[in-house]
Amino acid sequence: MADNVIKTGTTTIGIKLADGVILATDRRASTSFAVDKGTRKLFKLSDNLGVTTAGAVGQLQVAVRFLQGHILEYNIKKGVPMTVSTAAVYTSRVIMGLEIGLIIGGYDSTGGHVYEVAGDGSSLEMDYMSVGSGSVFAFGVLDAQYKPGMTKEEGAKLAITALSSSLKRDLFSGDGMLMAYIGPDGYQEFSDEEIRSICSSIGFSQYPN
């Protein structure tokens, strides 16, 4: 990949909860420097599915639009929401050969699920996952603090703590956060005010950047 291709460097996170999942990302896009400080790396795929993105921005944008359209068509034809496992397998085929990495998270009749989906065609279900240049820092927090059966509130605090670690140490992650909860009532994205409030509640005096 050429050095001047805009990439999302990034830290992306998925966490399985007792009744759903949390997805979270930073907002920086970069080449050899920060290109954009408001990049969206978290997307709603359907009412019960979301995705985080890391890699070449152009490839990611095309892949997300394609997935959104296919999942909508599937749901209409089948009359039921696509399961998380089906979405992960299908996504692995769509992005095979691309230099991108995704986390598919969602909620279906069997509960919440988190999958890492890579450009080599693999899709792996995990209790928690981080993808991107800052993932090594996020994993340090996730490995230490994750526990099965976490609530929405606990998962949100863990995601923000893990992201904050990456934002402090990884040059290619930063400029704020996006976060969503997907559970029995569907896809719910946290507002910036809600994220700031959680940051304050866990002792971050300033909104991480």
State the catalytic residues.
10
Cβ distance 11 to 163 under 8 Å? yes
Q: In terms of DSSP H, where are the helices of the chain?
A: 57-78, 84-94, 135-145, 152-169, 192-201
CA angle 149, 117, 41 (to 5 degrees): 85
CA atoms within 13 A of residue 151's CA, in its CB half-sphere = 2
CA-closest candidate to residue 139, choices 4, 9, 7, 13: 13
CA-closest candidate to residue 39, choices 31, 1, 157, 195: 31
Residue that has been written with the tokens 């009749």 in this structure: 109
SS3 content of the chain, % helix, strand, coil (to 5): 35, 35, 35
